[in-house]
């Protein structure tokens, strides 16, 4: 079986949410699985001197319009969050904490967290909301609270961000297939062709 | 017949080149024509404080890779120019000068200029090269040289840049269909759906 593909994202990234709804099914059609890697775009942007897309002059306004249109194009619900972007270290740590024992549960939590923020407009930057979302996927709330506060899980997230920088990741979503990098949900057609042909 | 669509571009923009090879045929399939509007991204970027994509930290390297892959994806030739980006005021002025008397000739010149830079790696920043390219499309070399140096044509290009800023254009290519803005060659699938459905 071909190697898993890597999906790097931030829980506060609109295009990451859009891709998160498509990438597993697309990969499965070509006999691939996907490794999910939450990271913190704030860490990446600080390192390379970038700003969140919506804060860019002029382009920022267009981007908010494009989020909505791109969601419609992909037949996905999208309700602009009341606060954007938000800090996602709690969500990312919860993901890595859950993944230690149950990768499938972590994946379900990630999907639920994306939808909570971009569809239900919930404050996923708060630990309480994150624990509620994980609890809805069957996680033990107290155990998860302790895990996300542990040095081990904090270090895992730090390692993910360091790894992203080492891979020259500068934005999200960022997909790597057998070493080939694809930035943005709008690269879905190229990703599909790459998976179908093994390159092009 | 539905209103023409507007295609804003800079002759030194790789994704503009890619879209320039597709937009007229796509529009024609839906009974539309396209108005081409060369502009100077340097003027736009200066106004909004942006830098050329290839000069952005980390993202710049990826973008060079993405130009090539996106060209292959669209089945278009692409040979990275030896100098990039280049100043395009001569090419843009020549376009507007030609368009006064012969819109079709101006369009053919524009296609030839894009291919000259992105396929044949010619220095389209020089007036000599621009006049050669226009001459190959039947333009009178001396008359065009005089026209591109005229205040009238210089002002036309200035007006185009001012108009682009007024339209909140921040990059290229930028397509506007009945008021709906699309930035980037990677919005081709959305442009196609918009033309097919009159929105979505």
How does pLDDT run along chain A (200 residues), one tens digit per residue?
689 999 999 999 999 999 999 999 999 999 999 999 999 999 999 999 999 999 999 999 999 999 999 999 999 999 999 999 999 999 999 999 999 999 999 999 999 999 999 999 999 999 999 999 999 999 999 999 999 999 999 999 999 999 999 999 999 999 999 999 999 999 999 999 999 999 99
A187-to-A62, A172, A191, A199 alpha-carbon distances in Å: 19, 12, 6, 14
Do residue A57 and residue B48 have CB atoms under 8 angstroms apart?
A: yes
pTM across the whole model = 0.96
CA distance B21 to B101: 23
B50 Cβ under 8 Å from any chain A Cβ:
yes
Chain B positions touching A200 (Cβ under 8 A) are: 69, 72-73
Question: Which site among B19, B170, B192, B194 would you substitute to test the A interface, given the most A Cβ atoms closer than 10 Å to its Cβ?
Answer: B170
Q: Give the angle B160-B178-B153 at the CA atoms, nearest 5°.
A: 15
pLDDT at B194: 98
B78 Cβ under 8 Å from any chain A Cβ:
no
pLDDT at B1: 67
Instruction: Give average pLDDT by consecutive 10-residue segment, chain B, 200 residues.
Output: 93 98 98 98 95 93 97 98 97 98 97 98 98 98 98 98 98 98 98 96
CA distance A152 to A19: 29
CA-nearest of A172, A177, A167, A102 to A139 is A102
Q: Please give the ipTM for the structure prediction.
A: 0.95
pLDDT at B10: 98
A187 Cβ under 8 Å from any chain B Cβ:
yes
Nearest CA to CA, how far is A31 from chain B (Å)?
22
Chain A residue nearest residue B183, CA to CA: A62
Do residue B58 and residue A72 have CB atoms under 8 angstroms apart?
A: no
3-state helix/strand/coil string of chain A: CCCCEEEEECCCCHHHHHHHCCHHHHHHHCCCCEEEEECCHHHHHHHHCCCCHHHCCCHHHHHHHHHHHHHHHCCCCCCCCCCCCCCCHHHHHHHHHHHHHCHHHHHHHHHHHHHHHHCCCCCCCCHHHHHHHHHHCCCCHHHHHHHHCCHHHHHHHHHHHHHHHHCCCCCCCEEEECCEEEECHHHHHHHHHHHHHCCC
Q: Which residues contact B101 (CB under 8 A, 6 or more apart)?
A: none
Chain B positions touching A190 (Cβ under 8 A) are: 69-70, 73
Nearest CA to CA, how far is A101 from chain B (Å)?
35
Do residue B50 and residue A62 have CB atoms under 8 angstroms apart?
A: no
CA distance B49 to A110: 36
Nearest CA to CA, how far is A198 from chain B (Å)?
13
């Amino acid at each position: 079986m071909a190697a898993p593909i890597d999906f790097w994202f931030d829980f506060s990234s609109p295009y990451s949410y859009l891709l998160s709804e498509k990438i597993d099914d697309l990969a499965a059609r070509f006999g691939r699985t996907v490794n999910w890697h939450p990271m913190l775009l704030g860490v990446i942007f600080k390192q390379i001197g970038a700003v969140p897309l919506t804060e860019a002059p002029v382009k920022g306004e267009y981007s908010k319009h494009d989020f909505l249109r791109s969601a419609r194009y992909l037949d996905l619900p999208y309700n602009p969050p009341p606060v954007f972007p938000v800090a996602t270290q709690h969500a990312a740590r919860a993901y890595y904490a859950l993944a230690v024992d149950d990768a499938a549960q972590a994946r379900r939590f990630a999907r639920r967290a994306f939808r909570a923020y971009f569809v239900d407009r919930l404050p996923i930057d708060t630990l309480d909301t994150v624990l509620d979302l994980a609890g809805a996927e069957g996680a033990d709330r107290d155990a998860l609270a302790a895990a996300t506060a542990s040095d081990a899980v904090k270090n895992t997230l730090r390692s993910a961000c360091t790894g992203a920088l080492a891979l020259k990741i500068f934005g999200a979503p960022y997909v790597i297939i057998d070493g080939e990098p694809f930035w943005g949900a709008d690269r879905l057609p190229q990703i599909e062709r790459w998976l179908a042909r093994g390159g092009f």
